[in-house]
Amino acid sequence: MTEFINLHEATIRLGFFFGVLLLIGLIEILAPRRPLTTSKVSRWFGNLGVVVISTVLLRIVFPLTAVQLAFWVDQKEWGMFNVLDLPYWTAVLASVILLDFIIYLQHVMFHAVPTLWRLHMMHHADLDYDLTTGIRFHPIEILISMVIKFGAIIVIGAPALAVVLFEVILNGMAMFNHGNFYIPLGLDRVLRLFVVTPDMHRVHHSVFPSETNSNYGFNLSWWDRLMGTYRAQPRLGHDGMTIGLNQFRNPSKLTLLWMLILPFVGKQGTYAINRRGAQDEG
Ligand SMILES: [Zn+2]
Ligand SMILES: [Zn+2]
């Protein structure tokens, strides 16, 4: 198993990425949940363009992937699970759940710290909500996330299988829960007991700060419920709500180049959490 992962990590990850992209992309075209307000072609060009830039940058900056780091940590016998000596599958499952909690906390931090919010703002500035919104993150946010993930893998001693599973699940779930498609409400309620659904995460992309500052989870829906950041529905409904941020409403200023320089323009201090409630009327 470990040998297989080591040899085929890139193929496994790319295969799942394109598989989910194709599947959700097709469902969105056949049965969209909300009509798009801006050109799909230019949004997809920007959102997928930024993914390519981040992928290249990760390769240049880091000498190894998160999965390769997990192999190395295992050899050194570092980290909690290499010391505890739990059954292999228990360590795999617990590592995936722990990594998901860490990524939840990281997301809260990116909303709470002004400089980090400037980077994360780009994810929220998208004026529409579809599967490509889910993979649209500023390259510097991606680099910081990777440093945090590296630290988590070393401390947890996460098995390589857990890391590859987590990366594939996170990538797939990000496209799933940003999907512009309809899940019957009864099914959504059941799914939400465990995972983040499109209707749950869409609340996080509302222009109202009190809604932006809720539903931070990516995979499991438990963290928002446990930490008190859960909000069931947008107050104006899924058809009536506005997606994006109040300060970025001009589609011509949201091209790929603009997305990259977005964190570096404007006054410092426009961040998410301390404005909770303050702009909800607007
Ligand atoms: Zn966010
Ligand atoms: Zn999102």
- Which ligand places an atom closest to the C-alpha of 136? 2
pLDDT surpasses 50 at 276: no
pLDDT surpasses 70 at 274: no
pLDDT surpasses 80 at 1: no
**How much distance in Å is there from the Cα of 260 to the middle of ligand 2?**
17
- CA–CA gap between residue 220 and residue 200 (Å, rounded): 11
**How much distance in Å is there from the Cα of 56 to the middle of ligand 2?**
22
Q: Taking the CB of residue 73, how many other CB atoms lie within 10 A of it?
A: 23
- Closest to 4 in 3D by CA, of 171, 168, 164, 172: 164
Q: Is 195 helix (H, G, I), strand (E, B) or coil?
A: strand
pTM: 0.93
In the chain, which residue ranges form alpha helices assigned H by DSSP?
2-30, 40-61, 66-76, 80-84, 88-112, 114-124, 139-156, 160-177, 185-192, 198-202, 209-212, 222-227, 237-240, 256-261
Average pLDDT over the chain reads: 92
**How much distance in Å is there from the Cα of 1 to the middle of ligand 2?**
33
Tokens representing 149? 């993930």
**How much distance in Å is there from the Cα of 66 to the middle of ligand 1?**
23
Provide the residue count of the chain.
282
**How much distance in Å is there from the Cα of 178 to the middle of ligand 2?**
6
**How much distance in Å is there from the Cα of 24 to the middle of ligand 1?**
21
- CA–CA gap between residue 100 and residue 95 (Å, rounded): 8
Q: Taking the CB of residue 149, how many other CB atoms lie within 10 A of it?
A: 21
Q: What is the DSSP letter of 216?
A: -
Out of 140-149, 194-203, 236-245, 271-280, pick the least confident.
Answer: 271-280
- CA–CA gap between residue 214 and residue 216 (Å, rounded): 6
pLDDT surpasses 50 at 277: no
What mean pLDDT do residues 133-144 have?
Answer: 97
- Look at 63 and 3; give whichever has higher pLDDT: 63
- What is the percentage of the chain residues whose pLDDT exceeds 70? 94
Dump pLDDT digits (tens) for 79-108: 999 999 899 999 999 999 999 999 999 999
**How much distance in Å is there from the Cα of 168 to the middle of ligand 2?**
17
